[in-house]
Amino acid sequence: MESTSRTFKENAGKALADAKLRAALDKLSDGFPAKRLEAKARLPEFDDLRDAARDIKHHTLANLDFYLEEFEARVIEAGGAVHWCRTAAEARTAILKICKQAGARTVTKSKSMIGEEIAINEHLEAHEIEPVETDLGEYIIQLRNEPPSHIIAPAIHLSMEQVADTFRDKHRHLASDRALEEPRALLEEARSELRQKFIAADVGLTGANMLIAETGSIVLVTNEGNADLTYCLPKTHIVLASLEKVVPTLEDATTILRVLARSATGQDMSVYTTFCTGPKLDGDLDGPENFHVVLLDNGRTKMLGSEFHDMLRCIRCGACLNSCPVYKAIGGHAYGWVYSGPMGAVLIPNLIGLDEASHLPNASTLCGKCEDVCPMRIPLPGMLRALRRRQFERESTPSVGRFLLRAWAFLARRPWLYRMAITPAVNVLAALGRRRGRFRRLPLAGGWTKLRDLPAPEGGTFVSRWHKKGGHKERSR
Amino acid sequence: MSDARDDILYAIKAARTEAPVVETGDETGDEIDSETKGEA
């Protein structure tokens, strides 16, 4: 997928001006985060499970080569094949080769962020193979030729009316006066269209939520069952997964599953959780005859051992997106590449380069909510700060900003000087802003006041007001 | 693709050699401690 991360500011500006998008994103606040909290409350050991899940991935990453080789050996034993790919181009080539060997004209797909990462749909189409997305959200955005805007709810940016309009526009063979006002009607129409595609597909392409080294199995988690039809109906099943998806054992996979659905959608368990191991055996009623795993690096090994090592624990639940005030204001498309929200703001610069995604580390208030909700306890705000530090050190940020940061750091290390500089400035601003209570314009703060007013200070610094209220005495008691 | 396999495994091993000791768990990555793994 081609990146538009360079134009993040313009993308965000457009998103903020899009009333339909804002209405769609408003629903997010009441949905997933509230359900996650309810699911957490139902499971007293939830935080202990988060620790256990973190430790599993931590251990796996420390021994990644061992577990990948174990996984490969078990896949081969089961009758499958593993294709190691350093880059997106290698993965595209490997998948196309398998599709051609299978004589494929149609490939059904279940939702795969790695598929988006390597732009596999465009590649297959360029070689006259039709890719068909089978996750409802992905199907909708494929019809609209749009990228996903959320890693677990790819069409969350759309209203029901927009989906109905898309179906009317793309499903021209159906009666134009059919009723599409109810969600059920939309679902039935998509199901009916997709059923024929499932049956006709020559190859099924899925992602994988996890790869299990102990058994060579892959884990597929969906709420629609589309991944199951994608993998078991065609003669060939291709699994496209990045290498950090491996876990040591079945037991480890079940621990991670217990935090995955709860963190993602607030469900105790996703509706369909499937473990696939190799092609079908003699006597099996269904399943693919050929089983291929395409293992993708695409920059992950560079993150190993770096400041961003822990990012490789991410299980793509989307909890950090759902709780991020920036994501909830602008949605996923503004980030300009496959991933979005706090995890995207860390992952994208690591995968496509900090220069290409230079705005993303700053697309955060550093409120820390993402780290609070992350089931794998990834220190996302710390990583965003690390990326900002890199930008500062490389001098890739504007010189005025660097000068102001240096001046701030100089003052912050000298409290007496800080007070001398800040107190008069705060008092002047308080006096100037007393009448209106806010500023519409302010020198050096144009970026802020362009879109919003700056509240006027009430006078005095936090510390001086703290002392006036006697807070310091209360604390020392 | 065998070159890719070797390159990826080499990169993983090299990262481990260069990486500082990680902050949680007992493993340094040099050995697989099955008991520790089981606890995870």
Tell me the nearest-neighbour CA distance from B35 into chain A, angstroms. Answer: 12
Partners of A59 on chain B (C-beta within 8 Å) are 25, 27, 36-37, 40
**Of A390 and A30, which is predicted with more confidence?**
A390
Residue of A62, A84, A252 with shortest CB distance to B22: A62
Give the mutation candidate from A54, A56, A58, A65 for the B interface (greatest B CB count, under 10 A).
A65
Residue of B20, B25, B32 with shortest CB distance to A55: B25
pLDDT in the model for residue B19: 56
- Mean pLDDT value across chain A: 93
pLDDT in the model for residue B31: 45
Q: Do B1 and A90 lie within an 8 Å CB cutoff?
A: yes
Q: Do A304 and B24 lie within an 8 Å CB cutoff?
A: no
Model confidence at A476, pLDDT cuts 50, 70, 90, reads: low
pLDDT at A65 over 50: yes
Residuewise pLDDT in 10s, chain B (40 residues): 459 999 999 999 999 876 554 444 444 444 444 443 333 3
The residue-averaged pLDDT of A392-417 equals 88
B1 inside 8 A of chain A by CB? yes
pLDDT in tens, A267-297: 999 999 999 999 999 999 999 999 999 999 9
Give the mutation candidate from B24, B28, B30, B33 for the A interface (greatest A CB count, under 10 A).
B24
pTM: 0.88
Distance CA A449, CA A436 (A): 15
pLDDT in the model for residue B23: 46
pLDDT in the model for residue B28: 42
Tell me the nearest-neighbour CA distance from B30 into chain A, angstroms. Answer: 8
The residue-averaged pLDDT of A107-115 equals 96
pLDDT in the model for residue A400: 84
Model confidence at A475, pLDDT cuts 50, 70, 90, reads: low
pLDDT at A191 over 90: yes
pLDDT in the model for residue A458: 82
pLDDT in the model for residue B27: 44
The residue-averaged pLDDT of A359-368 equals 95
The residue-averaged pLDDT of A372-378 equals 97
**Of A20 and A247, which is predicted with more confidence?**
A247
Tell me the nearest-neighbour CA distance from B34 into chain A, angstroms. Answer: 10
